[in-house]
């Protein structure tokens, strides 16, 4: 390659790299400049100088898909609560804790920002989600108010947000000097592959287009297996632009879950055939919040493909499924225990109950463009630039079961009983 061209590429990548870092630096400086937590994208710094054990745990996702992770958090019983030893004791592991859930519904799907060339804006959105959980500022639809409890730990329930934002959030938390634990579903999923993945065969990752584009799963699975002294198998990914929406019942999609699952299962195997000839799929990572809800349909699809001579050489006799949600819950338990942040017997959380918030478009924000149904206009959504942290084109408002978007309500009521109960469903 010509010398001048090489120098140009080097300068360009340095410029891109600096611009990317600006996203984190800007939010770190902005929140530090508003230590009372009364401005958008800020939190009350002094809260974290006291004991934080009595604070709730924050969980966020791009929308309501992360409620599958919350269901895993509410139901996990993999440890003895008092001795902290592994094994079920009949009491949910987080029974004493309270959770604050936030879904950035107005700005989703996160999985499509990378294809639109707006990864920088996505990273800013993800950092803002974390700051919302750390802070006390929320919106009642008319005005911003104080009073939301801050959190002692942040669980990134979204695979795409973990892939693009985990390191940024950890860097910001460190820069602010906060004793806050940050857990992401992708790291936890990689640990799940180590502990329960198939003994033979390739690993397949089914996720959003954005998660796959980030390469986070292959990197973390490879690193986790390698550190444990295990051989790293072939790892194949397939990004679906449709499956999450179909599972949620988004009217923009006409396929059934079974049809879409069959299409994506086949596409994953075709990719495996091209990328790793001669390999058979032995482990499937359900690398998107919604996919555990379609596990039955995916399993049926792989069973059908196993009976098809064109696909049977690509599949092991049994497929081990890894659901990162369950591994995230285990990781959180371990990290809280290690940091001495679990509530002990007799202690209670400052937040009396679990609580839920969703973002909604803010029609009063100047320049905002809305679609006919009141959601953010698609072009507007995917062409925004990072940098204006005082601008609030979406607002984080409380969510009750009755106000759940119709597409997700059925899913939560039927498939996530503990979350439905915590949301006050049926009352
Ligand atoms: N929650 C996202 C994930 O787990 C899926 C939906 C989206 O693209 O926002 O990757």
What was the pLDDT predicted at 341? 97
Going edge to edge, which strands form the sheet with 153-156? Answer: 181-184, 153-156, 57-61, 99-103, 355-361, 394-398
Select from 289, 328, 382 the residue to mutate for testing ligand 1; criterion: most ligand atoms less than 8 Å from CB: 289
> Residue 181 pLDDT > 60, yes or no?
yes
C-beta of 189 in contact with ligand 1 (< 6 A): no
Q: Which residues contact 123 (CB under 8 A, 6 or more apart)?
A: 20, 23, 24, 164, 165, 168, 386
Q: Does the structure show a pLDDT above 80 at 392? A: yes
For residue 362, which phi and psi values (nearest 5 degrees)? -110, 95
Domain ranges of the chain: 3-185+343-422, 188-326
Active-site residue, 288 included? yes
Distance CA 104, CA 395 (A): 9
* Residue 283 bridge partners (DSSP): 203, 320
Cβ pair 235, 222 in contact under 8 A: yes
- Report, in angstroms and rounded to the nearest whole number, the Rg of the chain calculated over CA atoms: 22
Write the pLDDT tens digit of every residue in 120-159: 999 999 999 999 999 999 999 889 999 999 999 999 999 9
- Is-same-fold flag (3-185+343-422; 188-326)? yes
- pLDDT-above-70 percentage for the chain: 95
Instruction: Give me the percent of the chain exceeding a pLDDT of 90.
Output: 87
Q: With cut-offs at 50, 70 and 90, classify the pLDDT of residue 284.
A: very high
Select the CATH number that applies to the domain covering 188-326 from these four: 3.60.70.12, 3.40.50.1860, 3.10.20.340, 3.40.640.10: 3.40.50.1860
- Among 292, 294, 285, 213, which residue's Cα sits nearest to residue 260? 294
Closest C-alpha residue for ligand 1 atom 2: 158
d(CA 203, CA 360): 37
Closest CA to 188 of 289, 337, 113: 289
Query: What is the CATH T-level fold of the domain 3-185+343-422, as seen in this structure?
Result: Rossmann fold (3.40.50)
Kindly name the residue from 17, 18, 260, 288 that is annotated as catalytic.
Answer: 288
pTM, 2 dp: 0.92
Concerning whether 158 is annotated as a catalytic residue, the answer is yes
Residue 93: name the closest of 84, 103, 105 by CA.
84
**Out of 3, 17, 18, 158, which one is annotated catalytic?**
158
Average predicted confidence (pLDDT) for the chain: 93
């Amino acid at each position: 390659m010509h010398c001048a061209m090489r120098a140009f590429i080097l300068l360009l990548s340095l410029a891109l790299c600096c611009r990317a870092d600006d996203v984190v630096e800007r939010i770190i400086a902005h929140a530090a400049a508003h230590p009372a937590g009364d401005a958008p994208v800020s939190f009350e710094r002094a809260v974290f100088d006291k004991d934080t054990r009595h604070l709730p745990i924050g969980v966020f996702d791009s929308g309501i898909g992360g409620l599958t992770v919350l269901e895993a958090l509410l139901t996990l019983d993999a440890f003895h609560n008092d001795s902290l030893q592994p094994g079920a004791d009949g009491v949910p592991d987080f029974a004493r804790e309270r959770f604050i859930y936030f879904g950035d519904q107005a700005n989703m799907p996160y999985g499509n920002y990378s294809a639109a060339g707006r990864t920088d804006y996505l990273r800013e959105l993800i950092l803002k989600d974390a700051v919302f959980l750390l802070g006390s500022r929320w919106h009642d639809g008319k005005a911003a108010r104080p009073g939301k409890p801050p959190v002692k730990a942040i669980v990134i329930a979204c695979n795409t947000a973990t892939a693009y934002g985990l390191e940024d959030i950890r860097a910001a938390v460190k820069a602010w000097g906060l004793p806050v634990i940050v857990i992401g579903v992708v790291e936890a999923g990689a640990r799940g592959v180590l502990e329960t993945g198939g003994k033979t065969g390739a690993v397949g990752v089914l996720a959003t287009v954005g998660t796959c584009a980030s390469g986070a799963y292959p990197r973390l699975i490879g690193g986790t297996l390698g550190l444990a002294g295990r051989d790293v198998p072939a790892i194949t990914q397939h990004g679906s632009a449709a499956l999450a929406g179909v599972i949620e019942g988004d009217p923009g999609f006409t396929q059934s879950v079974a049809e879409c699952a069959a299409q994506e299962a086949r596409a994953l195997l075709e990719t495996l055939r091209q990328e790793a000839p001669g390999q058979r799929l032995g482990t499937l990572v359900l690398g998107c919040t919604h996919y555990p809800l379609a596990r039955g349909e995916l399993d049926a699809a792989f069973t059908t493909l196993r009976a098809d001579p064109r696909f049977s050489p690509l599949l092991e006799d049994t497929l081990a499924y890894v659901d990162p949600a369950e591994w995230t819950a285990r990781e959180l338990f371990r990290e809280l225990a290690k940091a001495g942040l679990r509530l002990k017997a007799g202690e209670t959380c400052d937040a009396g109950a679990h609580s839920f918030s969703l973002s909604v478009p803010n029609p009063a924000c100047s320049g905002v463009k809305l679609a006919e149904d009141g959601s953010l206009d698609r072009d507007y959504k995917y062409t925004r630039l990072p940098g204006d942290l005082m601008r609030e084109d979406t607002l984080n408002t409380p969510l009750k079961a009755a106000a759940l978007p119709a597409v997700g309500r059925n899913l939560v009521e039927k498939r996530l009983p503990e979350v439905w109960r915590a949301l006050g469903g049926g009352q």
